[in-house]
Amino acid sequence: MDGNGRAARLLEKWFLVSKLGLSAWSINSEKYYLDNRPDNYQNIALGYNYYSLYWNRCLPFLVMLPKALKESII
């Protein structure tokens, strides 16, 4: 509703393209996040604001991108 997710996915894609080149546009991470919505919402629940984040819960969120890459290749 507020656009934070869209902005975050755009920044993620921009970062990937800047590091991997134009072929990173073919990584279908958006579809992976949509298809795995319950996991995605659980994994992004890292805290209520920047100052009280649960950093020990970041790993499942960070692992979602490599999983999306794996599905894009298969």
Indicate the number of domains in the chain: 1
pLDDT-derived band at 4, boundaries 50, 70, 90: confident
With the CA atoms of 14, 16, 19 and 24 taken in that order, what torsion angle do they form, in degrees rounded to the nearest 10? -110
CA angle 2, 7, 52 (to 5 degrees): 70
Q: What is the pLDDT of residue 74?
A: 60
Residue 34 lies in a domain: yes
Segments forming the whole domain that contains residue 73: 25-74
pLDDT-derived band at 9, boundaries 50, 70, 90: confident
pTM: 0.73
Q: Give pLDDT tens digits for 13-67.
A: 999 999 999 988 888 898 999 999 999 888 888 777 777 887 887 888 889 989 9
Residue 8 lies in a domain: no
Q: What is the pLDDT of residue 55?
A: 80
Q: Residue 57 corresponds to which tokens in the numbers above?
A: 């819960």
